[in-house]
Amino acid sequence: MNKCGRKKYIKTNLRQMTMETIESQQDGSVSDSVAESESAHMQTQTGQNSVPTLAQVATIAEKDESAESEGVIDSHKRREILSRRPSYRKILNELSSDVPGVPKIEEEKSEEEGTPPNIATMAVPTSIYQTSTGQYTATGDMPTYQIRAPTTALPQGVVMAASPGSLHSPQQLAEEATRKRELRLMKNREAAKECRRRKKEYVKCLESRVAVLEVQNKKLIEELETLKDICSPKTD
DNA sequence: CTGAGTTCACGTCACACGAG
DNA sequence: CTCGTGTGACGTGAACTCAG
């Protein structure tokens, strides 16, 4: 518990710092160009994933003090700023159109398994699911939509759609609402997993691109030095 | 060994955005 | 306009590392 508290403290402050950086970058001119957005986006990414150094943490602590004196900063405003950035997939796909070496992130859905596309999100989970209300396994206290859903490729929403005419009593309506919510949560769960996978892929792509560009840069510098040597007058 | 710090993966919520 | 999807943000737990 304390662990988490501390961790949250650091994480939250780091995030805040990152956001402040973004805000200061975009200050006055909310970026409408892709390039600007990209840089801001990248900062967030690295900010989120990198480890704060001691100095950073110290800075964070200082910032936190001032932040406390200011009170709670409008998180909605930050959200707005952050959410206007293009998704990393868009960025990468734009990059890939410019740079041939950069692969696109497509909705391949691991086609090597040869599974129909609509099965991907529907793969009936055999592992334990965790919800905010507790845990339930595939064999245990499963949500109704999983129990009833046959293992077909049909989306569960379709499978479980109750005939509209049969939903009259408040209880049935409540059940339907719960079922819809569970379904949405399950889909979102899967979507989040897929999203993280793509994000990792995206980061790897960027890292490899950096490596390539560094090599390229090094070569160009060497070439420049060589040319300088050739062109420079050999007096002395 | 233990506590603190870090990293990673996950589930959920909120929201933007595109399709119909 | 509504709905479904993608993704950033957030909170959490587990696993790992490391200094004392």
Residues A105-153: pLDDT tens digits? 443 333 333 333 333 333 333 333 333 333 333 332 333 333 223 222 3
- Which residues of the protein are close to the nucleic strand C, CB under 7 angstroms? A 1, 3-4, 7-8, 11-12, 15, 19, 41, 44, 48, 75, 78-79, 82-83, 85, 87-89, 107, 121, 157, 184, 187-188, 191-192, 194-195, 198-199
Q: pTM here? A: 0.51
Sign of CA dihedral A219, A36, A91, A32: negative
**Cβ(A138)–Cβ(A127) below 8 Å:** yes
Q: What pLDDT is attached to residue A67?
A: 36
- Tell me the pLDDT of chain A averaged across its residues: 52
**E strand intervals along chain A:** 129-131, 134-136
Residues A41-99: pLDDT tens digits? 333 333 333 333 333 333 333 333 333 333 333 444 443 443 334 455 555 555 555 55
Task: Give the list of residues 6+ apart from residue A218 with CB closer than 8 angstroms, or none.
Answer: none
Task: Quote the crossing angle between the two packed helices A2-26 and A75-83, to the nearest 10°.
Answer: 60
- The radius of gyration of chain A's CA atoms, rounded to the nearest angstrom, is 25
Task: Give the list of residues 6+ apart from residue A123 with CB closer than 8 angstroms, or none.
Answer: A115
